[in-house]
């Protein structure tokens, strides 16, 4: 009986709905429940000294989202300037992260009978971030391991966009610091108190913010 339960569980984990995307000639799938939304090209803020795979940060309706370039992750040539990237925003324990891809595909239902382990002849950069493969009529669907795909140098905090413990914040705007901040608080204590309250509200909103599960339609 225990063996049957294990078999059924294994089959259940290799079937389901996947949001798909293309990077060069590779066709990937991500569990649809891990996808927050998909977006067209967005304005980005560069992160000084960030790992090479980090393209920048996106301000997504007040939420700071790190953008990972999947071409760099897969060690592929950069896309041409005439080819704008698309954003597949996925949920992670540390907040949303955007995967920069070439093209967004359809949502597909896949059956466990077509599932296999990743082939050994895949390039090492791709094999490291792929959980498995579905055989389709005209191509292979590579199931992305999102946790491994978004791994970056530990100096970058995906949630805050900060480098290291004392690194610079790339969030919207900045507040005075050092002597200037001290003078502002000394001459205008009411302003300093309001600034503290505003910061607390933003932090609280960031903690409780989020989107409903399931992928949303592509938006501008």
Per residue in 42-97, pLDDT tens? 999 998 888 999 999 999 999 999 999 999 999 999 998 888 899 999 999 888 99
In the predicted structure, residue 6 carries a pLDDT above the cut 60: no
The dihedral of CA 45, 210, 100, 93: what is its sign? positive
Q: What pLDDT score does 151 carry?
A: 87
> Of how many residues is the chain composed?
220
Q: What pLDDT score does 65 carry?
A: 94
| Integer Cα distance of 214 and 155 in angstroms | 30
Q: What is the mean pLDDT of residues 9-18?
A: 63
Show me where the domains of the chain are located: 14-165
For a pLDDT cut of 70, what percent of the chain falls above it? 63
CA atoms within 13 A on the CB side of 86: 17
Q: Are 119 and 132 in contact (CB under 8 A)?
A: no
Q: What is the mean pLDDT of residues 131-136?
A: 94
Q: Are 74 and 26 in contact (CB under 8 A)?
A: yes
What six digits make up the tokens of 34? 């891990």
Q: Which residue has the higher pLDDT, 181 or 30?
A: 30
| Integer Cα distance of 20 and 6 in angstroms | 28
| Integer Cα distance of 107 and 116 in angstroms | 20
Q: Is the pTM of this model over 0.85?
A: no
Per-position b or e across 92-101, b if 16+ CB within 10 A of its CB: eeebbbbbbb
Q: In which element (H, E) is residue 43 found?
A: none
| Secondary structure (3-state) at 206 | helix
Q: What pLDDT score does 127 carry?
A: 84
Q: What pLDDT score does 164 carry?
A: 53
The dihedral of CA 106, 107, 109, 114: what is its sign? positive
Q: What pLDDT score does 7 carry?
A: 41
pLDDT band at residue 13 using 50, 70 and 90 as cut-offs: low
Per residue in 156-184, pLDDT tens? 555 555 555 433 333 333 333 333 333 33
Q: What is the mean pLDDT of residues 21-25?
A: 95
Q: Which residue has the higher pLDDT, 190 or 143?
A: 143
Q: Which residue has the higher pLDDT, 87 or 12?
A: 87
What's the CATH fold of domain 14-165?
A: OB fold (Dihydrolipoamide Acetyltransferase, E2P) (2.40.50)
**Category of 95 on φ-ψ map: left (φ > 0), alpha (ψ -120 to 50) or beta:** left
Pairing type for strands 35-39 and 86-90 reads antiparallel
Q: What pLDDT score does 149 carry?
A: 92
Q: What pLDDT score does 121 carry?
A: 77
Q: Which residue has the higher pLDDT, 3 or 67?
A: 67
């Amino acid at each position: 009986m225990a063996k049957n339960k294990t078999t059924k569980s294994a089959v259940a984990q290799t079937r389901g709905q996947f949001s798909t995307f293309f990077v060069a000639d590779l066709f990937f799938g991500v569990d649809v429940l891990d996808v927050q939304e998909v977006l067209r090209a967005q304005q980005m803020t560069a992160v000084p000294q960030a790992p090479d795979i980090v393209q920048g940060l996106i301000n997504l309706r007040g939420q700071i989202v790190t953008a990972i370039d999947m071409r760099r992750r897969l060690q592929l040539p950069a896309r041409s300037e005439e080819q704008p990237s698309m954003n597949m925003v996925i949920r992670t324990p540390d907040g949303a992260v955007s995967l920069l891809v070439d093209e967004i595909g359809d949502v597909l239902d896949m059956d466990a009978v077509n599932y296999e382990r990743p082939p050994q002849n895949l390039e090492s950069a791709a094999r490291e971030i792929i959980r498995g493969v579905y055989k389709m009529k005209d191509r292979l669907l590579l199931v992305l391991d999102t946790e491994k795909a978004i791994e970056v140098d530990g100096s970058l905090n995906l949630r805050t966009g900060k480098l290291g413990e004392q690194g610079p914040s790339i969030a919207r705007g900045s507040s005075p610091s050092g002597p200037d901040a001290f003078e502002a608080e000394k001459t205008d204590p009411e302003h300093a108190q309001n600034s503290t309250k505003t910061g607390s509200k933003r932090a609280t909103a960031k903690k409780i913010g989020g989107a409903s599960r399931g992928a949303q339609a592509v938006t501008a």
